[in-house]
Amino acid sequence: MVSTATLVLIGIFTALLFDFINGFHDAANAIATVVITKVLKPHQAVLMAALANFVGAFVFSVAVAKMIGKGIVNPSAITIYVILAALAGAIIWDLITWVMGLPTSSSHALIGGLIGSVFVTTGIKYLNFMGIMKVFFFIFVAPVMGMIGAAFFAILIINLFRNHHPLKLNKIFKRLQLASSFFYSVGHGTNDAQKSMGIITLLLFSAGYIKEFEISTWVILSCHAAIALGTYFGGWKIVKTMGTKITKLRPFEGFCSESSGGIVLLVTAWLGIPVSTTHVIAGSIMGVGTVENFKTVRWATARRIVWAWLLTIPISALIAAGSYMVIAKILI
Protein backbone atom coordinates (compact mmCIF):
# COMPACT_ATOMS: atom_id res chain seq x y z
CA MET A 1 0.00 0.00 0.00
CA VAL A 2 1.46 3.34 -1.08
CA SER A 3 1.37 5.99 1.68
CA THR A 4 -0.62 9.21 1.30
CA ALA A 5 2.54 11.31 1.56
CA THR A 6 4.18 9.36 -1.27
CA LEU A 7 1.09 9.71 -3.44
CA VAL A 8 0.97 13.46 -2.78
CA LEU A 9 4.61 13.80 -3.80
CA ILE A 10 3.91 11.77 -6.96
CA GLY A 11 0.92 14.02 -7.64
CA ILE A 12 2.92 17.23 -7.19
CA PHE A 13 5.70 15.91 -9.43
CA THR A 14 3.15 14.91 -12.09
CA ALA A 15 1.46 18.33 -11.92
CA LEU A 16 4.81 20.06 -12.39
CA LEU A 17 5.60 17.64 -15.23
CA PHE A 18 2.30 18.66 -16.85
CA ASP A 19 3.29 22.30 -16.37
CA PHE A 20 6.66 21.60 -18.01
CA ILE A 21 4.95 19.83 -20.94
CA ASN A 22 2.45 22.70 -21.13
CA GLY A 23 5.36 25.11 -21.62
CA PHE A 24 7.08 22.68 -24.00
CA HIS A 25 3.88 22.21 -26.02
CA ASP A 26 2.77 25.85 -25.95
CA ALA A 27 6.18 27.49 -26.41
CA ALA A 28 5.23 27.96 -30.06
CA ASN A 29 2.30 30.18 -29.05
CA ALA A 30 4.62 32.74 -27.54
CA ILE A 31 7.46 32.63 -30.05
CA ALA A 32 6.06 31.50 -33.40
CA THR A 33 5.47 34.98 -34.76
CA VAL A 34 8.75 36.46 -33.52
CA VAL A 35 10.74 33.51 -34.97
CA ILE A 36 8.96 33.31 -38.31
CA THR A 37 9.33 37.07 -38.87
CA LYS A 38 13.07 36.61 -38.09
CA VAL A 39 13.08 39.20 -35.33
CA LEU A 40 14.80 36.69 -33.04
CA LYS A 41 16.59 33.42 -33.55
CA PRO A 42 14.80 30.41 -32.03
CA HIS A 43 17.05 30.02 -28.97
CA GLN A 44 16.84 33.78 -28.25
CA ALA A 45 13.06 33.74 -28.56
CA VAL A 46 12.68 30.73 -26.28
CA LEU A 47 14.92 32.26 -23.60
CA MET A 48 12.94 35.50 -23.73
CA ALA A 49 9.61 33.64 -23.53
CA ALA A 50 10.81 31.51 -20.59
CA LEU A 51 11.82 34.63 -18.66
CA ALA A 52 8.49 36.28 -19.42
CA ASN A 53 6.61 33.15 -18.32
CA PHE A 54 8.28 33.40 -14.92
CA VAL A 55 7.58 37.14 -14.67
CA GLY A 56 3.91 36.18 -14.95
CA ALA A 57 4.12 34.82 -11.39
CA PHE A 58 4.24 38.37 -10.06
CA VAL A 59 1.61 39.96 -12.30
CA PHE A 60 -1.89 38.87 -11.36
CA SER A 61 -4.08 37.18 -8.79
CA VAL A 62 -4.68 33.43 -8.74
CA ALA A 63 -8.29 33.61 -9.92
CA VAL A 64 -7.75 31.07 -12.71
CA ALA A 65 -6.15 28.60 -10.26
CA LYS A 66 -9.20 28.86 -8.00
CA MET A 67 -11.51 28.33 -10.97
CA ILE A 68 -9.63 25.15 -11.92
CA GLY A 69 -9.64 23.94 -8.31
CA LYS A 70 -13.27 24.69 -7.44
CA GLY A 71 -15.17 25.77 -10.55
CA ILE A 72 -15.00 22.67 -12.78
CA VAL A 73 -15.67 19.86 -10.29
CA ASN A 74 -16.73 19.73 -6.67
CA PRO A 75 -13.57 19.51 -4.52
CA SER A 76 -15.24 16.90 -2.31
CA ALA A 77 -15.12 14.44 -5.24
CA ILE A 78 -11.36 14.81 -5.59
CA THR A 79 -8.93 12.14 -4.47
CA ILE A 80 -5.24 11.75 -5.21
CA TYR A 81 -6.08 9.03 -7.73
CA VAL A 82 -8.56 11.28 -9.54
CA ILE A 83 -5.91 13.98 -9.87
CA LEU A 84 -3.28 11.53 -11.12
CA ALA A 85 -5.72 10.25 -13.76
CA ALA A 86 -6.66 13.80 -14.81
CA LEU A 87 -2.99 14.71 -15.24
CA ALA A 88 -2.35 11.50 -17.19
CA GLY A 89 -5.19 12.33 -19.58
CA ALA A 90 -3.87 15.84 -20.15
CA ILE A 91 -0.22 14.82 -20.55
CA ILE A 92 -0.96 11.98 -22.98
CA TRP A 93 -3.17 14.19 -25.18
CA ASP A 94 -0.55 16.97 -25.12
CA LEU A 95 2.14 14.56 -26.27
CA ILE A 96 -0.07 13.09 -29.02
CA THR A 97 -0.88 16.53 -30.43
CA TRP A 98 2.72 17.69 -30.09
CA VAL A 99 3.85 14.74 -32.22
CA MET A 100 1.15 15.66 -34.75
CA GLY A 101 2.21 19.32 -34.71
CA LEU A 102 -1.28 20.45 -33.69
CA PRO A 103 -1.54 23.61 -31.55
CA THR A 104 -4.16 22.35 -29.10
CA SER A 105 -4.91 23.57 -25.60
CA SER A 106 -3.07 22.15 -22.60
CA SER A 107 -5.57 24.00 -20.40
CA HIS A 108 -8.56 22.29 -21.96
CA ALA A 109 -6.74 18.95 -21.87
CA LEU A 110 -6.40 19.35 -18.10
CA ILE A 111 -10.05 20.38 -17.72
CA GLY A 112 -11.10 17.38 -19.83
CA GLY A 113 -8.91 15.16 -17.67
CA LEU A 114 -10.63 16.40 -14.51
CA ILE A 115 -14.07 15.87 -16.01
CA GLY A 116 -13.25 12.34 -17.20
CA SER A 117 -11.62 11.16 -13.98
CA VAL A 118 -14.40 12.56 -11.74
CA PHE A 119 -17.15 11.21 -14.03
CA VAL A 120 -15.76 7.66 -13.99
CA THR A 121 -15.60 7.66 -10.17
CA THR A 122 -18.76 9.54 -9.09
CA GLY A 123 -20.88 10.18 -12.20
CA ILE A 124 -22.20 13.62 -13.15
CA LYS A 125 -23.37 14.83 -9.74
CA TYR A 126 -19.98 16.31 -8.79
CA LEU A 127 -19.42 18.12 -12.10
CA ASN A 128 -19.96 21.89 -12.05
CA PHE A 129 -21.85 22.42 -15.30
CA MET A 130 -21.87 26.22 -15.02
CA GLY A 131 -18.09 26.26 -14.85
CA ILE A 132 -17.76 23.70 -17.64
CA MET A 133 -20.12 25.66 -19.91
CA LYS A 134 -18.10 28.82 -19.27
CA VAL A 135 -14.96 27.02 -20.45
CA PHE A 136 -16.78 25.68 -23.55
CA PHE A 137 -18.15 29.15 -24.27
CA PHE A 138 -14.66 30.65 -24.27
CA ILE A 139 -13.37 27.98 -26.67
CA PHE A 140 -15.17 30.11 -29.25
CA VAL A 141 -15.11 33.55 -27.63
CA ALA A 142 -11.38 33.75 -26.77
CA PRO A 143 -10.06 33.24 -30.33
CA VAL A 144 -12.73 35.62 -31.69
CA MET A 145 -11.59 38.25 -29.17
CA GLY A 146 -8.01 37.71 -30.34
CA MET A 147 -9.08 37.89 -33.99
CA ILE A 148 -11.05 41.11 -33.56
CA GLY A 149 -8.30 42.77 -31.51
CA ALA A 150 -5.57 41.80 -33.99
CA ALA A 151 -7.69 42.96 -36.94
CA PHE A 152 -8.27 46.31 -35.19
CA PHE A 153 -4.53 46.78 -34.57
CA ALA A 154 -3.74 45.79 -38.15
CA ILE A 155 -6.25 48.26 -39.64
CA LEU A 156 -4.97 51.02 -37.35
CA ILE A 157 -1.31 50.41 -38.26
CA ILE A 158 -2.02 50.12 -41.99
CA ASN A 159 -3.73 53.52 -41.92
CA LEU A 160 -1.17 55.21 -39.68
CA PHE A 161 1.86 53.94 -41.65
CA ARG A 162 0.42 53.88 -45.16
CA ASN A 163 3.06 56.35 -46.41
CA HIS A 164 6.03 54.47 -44.95
CA HIS A 165 8.29 52.34 -47.11
CA PRO A 166 7.83 48.59 -46.36
CA LEU A 167 11.49 48.22 -45.35
CA LYS A 168 11.22 51.09 -42.86
CA LEU A 169 7.97 49.65 -41.53
CA ASN A 170 9.63 46.26 -40.99
CA LYS A 171 12.51 47.90 -39.14
CA ILE A 172 10.16 49.76 -36.79
CA PHE A 173 8.02 46.73 -35.99
CA LYS A 174 10.91 44.33 -35.58
CA ARG A 175 11.82 46.41 -32.52
CA LEU A 176 8.24 46.73 -31.33
CA GLN A 177 7.70 43.01 -31.76
CA LEU A 178 10.28 42.33 -29.08
CA ALA A 179 7.99 44.12 -26.62
CA SER A 180 4.77 42.54 -27.90
CA SER A 181 6.24 39.03 -27.81
CA PHE A 182 7.46 39.53 -24.23
CA PHE A 183 4.02 40.92 -23.31
CA TYR A 184 2.26 37.92 -24.81
CA SER A 185 4.61 35.51 -23.02
CA VAL A 186 3.81 37.18 -19.67
CA GLY A 187 0.13 36.56 -20.43
CA HIS A 188 0.91 32.95 -21.35
CA GLY A 189 2.71 32.32 -18.05
CA THR A 190 0.06 34.17 -16.03
CA ASN A 191 -2.85 32.22 -17.46
CA ASP A 192 -1.38 28.75 -18.04
CA ALA A 193 0.74 28.22 -14.92
CA GLN A 194 -2.34 28.82 -12.80
CA LYS A 195 -3.92 25.59 -14.00
CA SER A 196 -1.25 23.51 -12.28
CA MET A 197 -1.42 25.74 -9.22
CA GLY A 198 -5.11 24.86 -8.90
CA ILE A 199 -4.38 21.14 -9.32
CA ILE A 200 -1.58 21.06 -6.71
CA THR A 201 -3.66 23.03 -4.22
CA LEU A 202 -6.62 20.71 -4.87
CA LEU A 203 -4.30 17.75 -4.24
CA LEU A 204 -3.06 19.18 -0.92
CA PHE A 205 -6.63 20.04 0.11
CA SER A 206 -7.99 16.57 -0.72
CA ALA A 207 -5.14 14.92 1.21
CA GLY A 208 -5.79 17.08 4.27
CA TYR A 209 -2.49 18.98 4.19
CA ILE A 210 -4.29 22.34 4.00
CA LYS A 211 -7.63 23.29 5.57
CA GLU A 212 -8.73 25.91 3.04
CA PHE A 213 -8.29 26.23 -0.72
CA GLU A 214 -5.55 28.87 -0.69
CA ILE A 215 -2.64 28.99 -3.14
CA SER A 216 0.74 28.96 -1.36
CA THR A 217 3.68 31.05 -2.55
CA TRP A 218 5.86 27.96 -3.13
CA VAL A 219 3.15 26.53 -5.39
CA ILE A 220 3.01 29.75 -7.44
CA LEU A 221 6.79 29.93 -7.87
CA SER A 222 7.29 26.23 -8.62
CA CYS A 223 4.54 26.18 -11.27
CA HIS A 224 5.90 29.26 -13.02
CA ALA A 225 9.41 27.80 -12.88
CA ALA A 226 8.18 24.54 -14.42
CA ILE A 227 6.32 26.24 -17.28
CA ALA A 228 9.31 28.52 -17.90
CA LEU A 229 11.64 25.52 -18.15
CA GLY A 230 9.18 23.77 -20.47
CA THR A 231 9.06 26.84 -22.68
CA TYR A 232 12.85 26.95 -22.77
CA PHE A 233 13.03 23.37 -24.02
CA GLY A 234 9.97 23.75 -26.28
CA GLY A 235 9.66 21.98 -29.63
CA TRP A 236 9.43 23.50 -33.09
CA LYS A 237 6.76 21.42 -34.85
CA ILE A 238 4.00 23.75 -33.69
CA VAL A 239 6.05 26.87 -34.45
CA LYS A 240 5.87 25.91 -38.10
CA THR A 241 2.09 25.38 -37.99
CA MET A 242 1.40 28.61 -36.12
CA GLY A 243 3.86 30.79 -37.98
CA THR A 244 3.58 29.61 -41.59
CA LYS A 245 0.61 27.32 -42.18
CA ILE A 246 -2.15 29.73 -41.12
CA THR A 247 -0.93 32.81 -42.98
CA LYS A 248 2.39 34.44 -43.87
CA LEU A 249 3.46 36.95 -41.24
CA ARG A 250 5.50 40.15 -41.37
CA PRO A 251 6.81 42.00 -38.30
CA PHE A 252 3.88 44.42 -37.99
CA GLU A 253 1.41 41.52 -38.28
CA GLY A 254 3.31 39.62 -35.61
CA PHE A 255 3.13 42.71 -33.41
CA CYS A 256 -0.65 42.94 -33.92
CA SER A 257 -1.16 39.24 -33.16
CA GLU A 258 0.95 39.25 -29.99
CA SER A 259 -0.48 42.53 -28.66
CA SER A 260 -4.06 41.38 -29.12
CA GLY A 261 -3.31 37.92 -27.71
CA GLY A 262 -1.52 39.33 -24.66
CA ILE A 263 -4.43 41.65 -23.83
CA VAL A 264 -6.97 38.82 -24.09
CA LEU A 265 -4.87 36.52 -21.88
CA LEU A 266 -4.30 39.10 -19.15
CA VAL A 267 -7.95 40.24 -19.10
CA THR A 268 -9.26 36.67 -18.86
CA ALA A 269 -6.67 35.85 -16.17
CA TRP A 270 -7.91 38.83 -14.17
CA LEU A 271 -11.50 37.61 -14.61
CA GLY A 272 -10.53 34.06 -13.56
CA ILE A 273 -11.44 32.44 -16.89
CA PRO A 274 -9.15 29.55 -17.93
CA VAL A 275 -8.81 30.21 -21.66
CA SER A 276 -6.45 28.60 -24.14
CA THR A 277 -3.33 30.55 -25.09
CA THR A 278 -3.25 28.42 -28.23
CA HIS A 279 -6.76 29.44 -29.26
CA VAL A 280 -6.08 33.10 -28.59
CA ILE A 281 -2.90 33.44 -30.64
CA ALA A 282 -4.27 31.31 -33.48
CA GLY A 283 -7.35 33.55 -33.64
CA SER A 284 -5.13 36.62 -33.57
CA ILE A 285 -3.02 35.34 -36.46
CA MET A 286 -6.18 34.63 -38.46
CA GLY A 287 -7.35 38.17 -37.69
CA VAL A 288 -4.34 39.90 -39.23
CA GLY A 289 -4.40 37.52 -42.18
CA THR A 290 -8.04 38.34 -42.85
CA VAL A 291 -7.37 42.09 -42.85
CA GLU A 292 -4.48 41.78 -45.28
CA ASN A 293 -6.18 39.38 -47.65
CA PHE A 294 -8.91 36.92 -46.73
CA LYS A 295 -7.58 34.48 -49.34
CA THR A 296 -4.09 34.37 -47.77
CA VAL A 297 -5.45 32.61 -44.68
CA ARG A 298 -5.09 28.86 -45.11
CA TRP A 299 -8.56 27.97 -43.96
CA ALA A 300 -7.97 24.22 -44.40
CA THR A 301 -5.26 24.42 -41.72
CA ALA A 302 -7.52 26.62 -39.60
CA ARG A 303 -10.34 24.04 -39.80
CA ARG A 304 -7.90 21.28 -38.79
CA ILE A 305 -6.85 23.34 -35.77
CA VAL A 306 -10.48 24.07 -34.77
CA TRP A 307 -11.35 20.36 -34.92
CA ALA A 308 -8.43 19.64 -32.61
CA TRP A 309 -9.74 22.32 -30.22
CA LEU A 310 -13.22 20.78 -30.14
CA LEU A 311 -11.90 17.25 -29.60
CA THR A 312 -9.45 18.12 -26.82
CA ILE A 313 -11.84 18.05 -23.85
CA PRO A 314 -13.76 14.86 -24.77
CA ILE A 315 -10.66 12.90 -25.82
CA SER A 316 -8.58 13.91 -22.80
CA ALA A 317 -11.62 13.04 -20.63
CA LEU A 318 -11.73 9.56 -22.17
CA ILE A 319 -7.99 9.08 -21.69
CA ALA A 320 -8.28 10.22 -18.06
CA ALA A 321 -11.18 7.83 -17.45
CA GLY A 322 -9.10 4.94 -18.83
CA SER A 323 -6.09 6.11 -16.82
CA TYR A 324 -8.14 6.06 -13.62
CA MET A 325 -9.08 2.43 -14.20
CA VAL A 326 -5.42 1.52 -14.68
CA ILE A 327 -4.31 3.55 -11.61
CA ALA A 328 -7.08 2.01 -9.51
CA LYS A 329 -5.87 -1.50 -10.32
CA ILE A 330 -2.25 -0.65 -9.57
CA LEU A 331 -2.50 1.64 -6.54
CA ILE A 332 -5.87 1.19 -4.85
- Residues 32-75 pLDDT 10s: 767 777 777 777 877 888 888 888 777 666 788 888 888 898 88
Read off the pTM.
0.80
| Region for 21 from its dihedrals, namely left if φ exceeds 0, alpha if ψ lies in -120 to 50, beta otherwise | alpha
Helices 4-36 and 166-206, axial angle in degrees (round to 10)? 170
Q: What are the pLDDT digits (tens) for 139-198?
A: 889 989 999 999 999 999 988 888 887 778 888 888 888 898 889 888 878 888 888 888
Over pLDDT 90: what percentage of the chain?
Answer: 22
Q: What are the pLDDT digits (tens) for 179-189?
A: 988 898 888 78
Separation between Cα atoms, residue 57 and residue 269, nearest integer Å: 12
Separation between Cα atoms, residue 206 and residue 79, nearest integer Å: 6
Assign 244 a pLDDT band (cuts: 50, 70, 90).
Answer: very low
Q: Where are the domains of the chain?
A: 4-331
